[in-house]
Copies of this chain bind each other. A is one copy, B any other.
Amino acid sequence: MDYMIDVGTQIFQKLTPVKRQKVFQSAISEFAEQGYRKASVNNIVRTAEISKGSLFQYFSSKRKLFTCTVNASAVLVKDYLKNVRNETTGENFFDRLEKIILSGFRFIDKHPLMARIYFQLLQSGEAPFGSEQVMELRRNAERFLGELILEAMSKGELRRDLSTDKVSFIIYSLLESLLRAYYSDFIGESSGIYKASPEGLTIWVRTVIDFLRDGISNRG
């Protein structure tokens, strides 16, 4: 569980991995299910089976505990992105994009709680830190897309008259919508994306990408 490196105080780091994991997982569940505000420290210590005093020795405050949680999920996301980027270098832009989106779905499958925390943070105003950190997460994703786009442009796969920022914004919007629809019942239900089968998902992704291509790909 290398995404837990440097999480919490030294005392927390000295714990046995299994206990550390139990505490951290309890926090993740609570935050994911309740959101930051409603999440209760009392609940966390109860399910982690530690005393409240201990928790505050591991993480100096509720806020710190939450930011650790968020950082861990950000590390996971970055990892996924890096992997899919490396696995697809050299491929066509649209193929890469397809794989990125599908990898997003896989991330949600594997780390539903982390995904929930990440999304909640990204869009809700209930961020407990200043919005700078949230913007940092966003900028990260946009930078990632931006680089892909520039690369694709230089290879002549995309029209050159488009502004990178605007294309990046558009793609990011669609990407985020797809992922949100997949993990959230009340968004994805009407579209049929929520918990769709792999085949259904692939169709959706292809549709959106075909649509993107006809819009921004280099014709001629």
Contacts and interface: CB of A to CB of B under 8 A. Distances in A.
Copy total for this chain = 2
A3 interface: no
Interface stretch (A55-63, A71-79, A203-211): A203-211
Given A38-B37, A177-B173, A215-B215, A186 B138 contact: yes
A15 interface: no
A48 interface: no
A-side interface mostly: helix
Contacts of A134: 186
Interface stretch (A22-30, A86-94, A99-107, A164-172): A164-172
Interface string A141-159: 0100000000000000000
Q: Which 10 pairs of residues, A with B, have the shortest CB-CB distance?
A: A215-B215, A173-B177, A131-B186, A124-B124, A135-B186, A37-B37, A211-B215, A214-B215, A169-B191, A134-B186
Interface of A: 35, 37-38, 116, 120, 123-127, 131-132, 134-135, 138-139, 142, 162-163, 165-166, 169-170, 172-174, 176-177, 180-181, 184-187, 189-192, 204, 207-208, 211-212, 214-216
